[in-house]
Amino acid sequence: MSPTRVAILGVGQWGAALAMLARNRGHQVQVWSRRGETTLEAALASAEIVISAISMKGVPETVERVRASMLPDTAILVSATKGLDPATQLTASPIWQAAFPNHPIVVLSGPNLSEEIQQGLPAATVVASHDQVAAERAQAILSSDRFRVYTNTDPLGTEMGGTLKNVIAIAAGVCDGLHLGTNARSGLITRALAEIIRVGTHLGARPETFFGLAGLGDLLATCTSPLSRNYRVGYGLAQGKPLEQILTELQSTAEGVSTTNVLIELAERKGIAVPISRQVYLLLNGKITPKQAVEALMERDLKAEMYG
């Protein structure tokens, strides 16, 4: 395909990986960050695709800055952020859509550990949108022999899968940090998938989305790899490290920490049962120990296995 003008917002590991993928496909890439030399106006000028890889806490401010910088009328916005906004309890794409109602919004999410992508290892992802043409455009721009991109029409489910798995990755890190074994981690991931589906479908997502790359695929990647920042948070907590020390050592954002707090507020407001996420919340806020979190889950009332 002919070269496309792509703007990448955010120069963290994920933004850098996406910029590399686009450049490798021969596209004209401009990268912007708040501390970089390129102005936002220059990055957005004539952009056909704008990919936001900003951390969740920076999304509202970035949206306002883009609004003030004259986004090209025909640009497609791609949100690659995984998290929940504390002020609105929304994922990133509805915030972008509210600010740019006349622009197509695409969500990008999947089992995409940035370090592996930057190493050139094969990976797959999903681009989801209510605008099929926009999704297929994003698919064509990023797809390569090392990065396979699928489309779907459930952006909410795609985004919620990528967001909620970060909470569960913390729990998986705790499980491995306590050396509880493969059986325990497998049970945790399986029951966590049921929990994620419960939350997502309550909010209007399609259940089948969570069995795809942006749901189960991303859950497996982040719950089994030390490359996952959220997994490393849980592992560090299981070793007795203070949360502040762990976050300092990471030197990057672990979205699951903030997401957990917002998720519990959302679940309480909506009346959604989230037993695993609740134990992660209590652990992150210093109310229980890792061992007590495991005991609380194992001692819950006996019941039938179901995904309701």
Domain boundaries, the chain: 5-153, 159-298
3-class DSSP assignment, residue 23: helix
Would you place residue 248 in the very low, low, confident or very high pLDDT band (cuts 50, 70, 90)? very high
CATH no. of 5-153: 3.40.50.720
Helices (H), 68-154: 92-99, 114-118, 132-142
Residue 88 reports pLDDT greater than 60 = yes
Using CB atoms within 10 A of its CB, is residue 244 exposed (0-12), middle (13-18) or buried (19+)?
A: exposed
Q: What is the pTM of this model?
A: 0.95
Q: Would you tell me the crossing angle of helices 243-250 and 229-238 to the nearest 10 degrees? A: 140
pLDDT, tens digit (0-9, with 9 covering 90-100), for 13-50 = 999 999 999 999 999 999 999 888 999 999 999 999 99
Beta bridge partners of 29: 6
- 92 near 56, Cβ under 8 Å? yes
* Of 273, 253, 252, nearest in space to 264 by CA: 273
Q: Would you state the structure tokens that stand for residue 264, as one six-digit string? A: 């519990």
pLDDT at residue 207 in the model: 97
Q: Which contiguous run of DSSP H or E holds residue 22?
A: helix 13-24
CA 289 to chain centre: 26
Residue 236 identity (one-letter amino acid)? G
Sign of CA dihedral 185, 186, 191, 196: positive
Q: Cα(191)–Cα(208) distance, rounded to whole angstroms?
A: 16
Fold of 159-298: N-(1-d-carboxylethyl)-l-norvaline Dehydrogenase; domain 2 (1.10.1040)
CB-CB contact of 51 with 43 (8 Å): no
pLDDT digits (tens, 9 = 90+) for 124-167: 999 999 999 999 999 999 999 999 999 999 999 999 999 999 99
- Catalytic site residue 291? no
5: β partners: 28
**Active-site option among 57, 165, 241, 270:** 165
The predicted pLDDT at position 1 comes to 67
